[in-house]
């Protein structure tokens, strides 16, 4: 088990989440993950990392088919945001792009969640690698992450 996957498994257990880690195959993108998991695109939790000019990191948990609106996201953060580069994502979260989990980060970001995720009984989120996901009830995931639900999509 990779260090990243182990960290996510430990975070799931520590949060008391009823979640199952799966290895459905390549799931680096929302489309790949939906195909691998046999679910709808919006059941995939995209983990998008953004950064403010002072270095603050923000994680936006978005339904797979939704697109983040940069102006709405910046308004929520109270500062202009830019997509974090791969090196920053790895340094702050401990995960590579394509495997960023919603929990188990090296440094805890401010987290916002797309309300669309609650429309499903189960969602699938990255589990720290591009090939692993975990299934979980969305409300439990949002609570475990300490995410604030907000409208930040187009």
Q: Which CATH superfamily is domain 3-149 in?
A: YbaK/aminoacyl-tRNA synthetase-associated domain (3.90.960.10)
Query: How confident is the model over 17-71, as pLDDT tens digits?
Result: 999 999 998 898 999 999 999 999 999 999 999 999 999 999 999 999 999 999 9
In the chain, what are the domain boundaries? 3-149
pTM listed for this prediction: 0.96
Query: In Å, how far are 1, 53, 54 from 46, measured between CA atoms?
Result: 23, 23, 24
Mean pLDDT of the chain: 96
């Amino acid at each position: 088990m990779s260090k990243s996957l182990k960290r996510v498994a430990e975070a799931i257990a520590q949060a008391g989440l009823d979640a199952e880690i799966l290895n459905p195959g390549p799931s680096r993108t929302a489309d790949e993950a939906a195909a691998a998991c046999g679910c709808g695109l919006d059941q995939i939790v995209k983990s998008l990392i953004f950064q403010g000019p002072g270095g603050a990191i923000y994680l936006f948990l978005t339904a797979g088919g939704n697109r983040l609106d940069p102006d709405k996201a910046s308004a929520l953060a109270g500062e202009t945001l830019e997509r974090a580069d791969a090196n920053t994502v790895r340094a702050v979260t401990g995960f590579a792009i394509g495997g960023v989990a919603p929990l188990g980060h090296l440094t805890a970001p401010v987290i916002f969640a797309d309300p669309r995720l609650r429309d499903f009984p189960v969602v699938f989120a990255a589990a720290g690698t591009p090939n692993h996901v975990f299934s979980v009830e969305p409300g439990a995931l949002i609570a475990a992450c300490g995410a604030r639900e907000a409208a930040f999509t187009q």
